[in-house]
Amino acid sequence: MSLAIFDLDNTLIAGDSDFLWGQFLVDNGIVDREEYDRTNRHFYEQYQAGSLDIHEYARFAFRPLAEHPLDTLLEWRERFMQEYVRPILLPAARALVDEHRARGDTLMIITATNRFVTELTAQAYEIPHLLATEPRHVDGHFVAEIEGIPCFQRGKVDRLMQWMAQHGEDLEGSWFYSDSHNDLPMLELVDHPVAVDADDTLQKIADERGWKSISLR
């Protein structure tokens, strides 16, 4: 039994759930369309370029979480899941997850997108372990700051190491699937790195290093 670890956005789903959550907020008039859409796209371009300041992004992205009551946020999240995420779940991704499940592997999603946005997607794929960027809570309310280590770039490795120490797991025979060059630290860590519908930078590296490349689209 080995760890089978999956990136989420543009890997298990055909899109970026963090970006789409912003679009949901814009489309429903929850935030100012022009300002939010412009800033959201700016940060997404930084992410694609590998230059994102995750703490600066979190202060922007978590602001709607901090400004609204939890009951309202949960209602919005359910609508978001049904209208924006379920249409981009991938049958081939589900089959891959089920293949690892049948082997008895330990299934995990590790994603830079925050836990509030990604929990329902992990449940949809029946993946029990989710490591995600954690919004800070104070007295039952979200705060527009990150709690602990951001689950981004090298932070994914740090969070995984913490989790393995707590659960008595190791990396023998481990797998990691990702589309993004931002995940190079994780891909270099595991025994079986797999590039999935990879961006140009990651695809070039995967080809040079002889890593497996697949498409789930």
Q: Among all residues, which ones are annotated catalytic?
A: 7, 9
Instruction: Return the number of other C-beta atoms located less than 10 Å from residue 28's C-beta.
Output: 12
| Interatomic CA distance for residues 158 and 209, integer angstroms | 24
User: Both tokens of residue 152?
Assistant: 């981004």
Within 10 angstroms of residue 105's Cβ, the number of other Cβ atoms is 18
46: tokens are: 């930084």
3-state secondary structure of 124: helix
- Residue 214 CB contacts under 8 Å (≥ 6 apart), including other chains: 177, 194, 195, 196, 197
